[in-house]
Homo-oligomer: A and B are copies of this chain.
Amino acid sequence: MNARILNLMEEVRSGRCSPEEAADQISGLRLEEVAGFARLDLGRTIRCGVPEVVLAEGKDTTHLVGIMKRYVEVSGRCVASRATEEQAAAIQESVPDLTCEYYPDARIVILTNGTEKPSSGGIVGIITAGTSDIRVAEEARLIAEEMGCRTLTAYDVGAAGIHRLFPALNELRDADAFVVCAGREGTLPAVVAGLVGRPVIGVPVSVGYGYMGKGEAALASMLQSCAVLAVVNIDAGFTAGAFAAQIATGVQRE
């Protein structure tokens, strides 16, 4: 932008542009500036490394396709979360020239015009306590990958016995950050946080019945934990994956 103002100055000095015209143009630029300031949010992908994710749930297909196409035009790729198989099929049908991948476990659709995912060099480890937590973990995994990270996963380490945890942690030892998904009483994230030296993000999963079921007890016990643990909303795989990718990318960027 400096260049543009400098050019204008040159034109004023050279007489090609009157001071009044220049002042007007600069005011215009300033308006653009203010709008641009507000528009910063548009640049979230560039600024924060977080891709645009559209919540498919509750959106009608036309609307959803419209939004996703717009984002693909702007940034080459677009992710829709909580999408049904029907929505995925409808998207594919509506934009046959774009590539549409559907991940039923994660309920995620990724629409691209061939633009590749970035590559940050960061590594995110993703762990689940049980098999019911995998759908949330997969959401985290796909987002982290969209943000350029490599992912290492160890699913069902709690359900199959804690003996799987130690080898699993060993396999994931290169991770820069961990996402740990757990429902019911949700203690696995604290256990992992007590064993690894890297940041652990706990994701309560809406599993479990009765009192404080559906992830509520998990959320509570993660927030109350003595371990050094940060938490996201129940089932918020997207947030956890993106947060872990931010950490991992930062580690590699230095």
A interface residue numbers (CB < 8 A to B): 1-2, 5-6, 8-10, 12-13, 15, 18-20, 22-23, 26-27, 29-30, 33-35, 37-42, 44, 47-50, 55, 58-59, 63, 131-132, 161-163, 165-167, 176-177, 184-187, 190, 193-199, 201, 204, 206-213, 215-226, 228-236, 239-240, 242-243, 246-247, 250-254
Main secondary structure of the interface of A (DSSP, over half): helix
Question: Contact between A210 and B201 (Cβ–Cβ < 8 Å)?
Answer: no
Complex formed: what's the CA distance from A204 to B224 in Å? 13
Question: Contact between A184 and B224 (Cβ–Cβ < 8 Å)?
Answer: yes
User: Which residue on chain B has the smallest CB distance to residue A199?
Assistant: B246
Complex formed: what's the CA distance from A23 to B194 in Å? 29
Question: Contact between A234 and B211 (Cβ–Cβ < 8 Å)?
Answer: yes
User: Which residue on chain B has the smallest CB distance to residue A196?
Assistant: B48
Chain B residues within 8 Å of A44, by CB: 194
Question: Contact between A235 and B210 (Cβ–Cβ < 8 Å)?
Answer: yes
Contacts A12-B13, A44-B194, A199-B243: A232 and B231 contacting too (C-beta < 8 A)?
yes
Question: Contact between A163 and B132 (Cβ–Cβ < 8 Å)?
Answer: no
Question: Contact between B167 and A41 (Cβ–Cβ < 8 Å)?
Answer: no
User: Which residue on chain B has the smallest CB distance to residue A223?
Assistant: B233
Complex formed: what's the CA distance from A199 to B50 in Å? 11
**Minimum Cβ distance to chain B for residue A200 (Å):** 9
Question: Contact between A161 and B206 (Cβ–Cβ < 8 Å)?
Answer: no
User: Which residue on chain B has the smallest CB distance to residue A240?
Assistant: B230
A-B contact pairs, 19 of them (CB 8 A): A10-B19, A13-B19, A38-B162, A38-B166, A185-B224, A204-B210, A206-B210, A210-B236, A211-B234, A212-B224, A217-B221, A220-B220, A221-B221, A228-B246, A229-B239, A230-B232, A230-B239, A247-B247, A250-B251
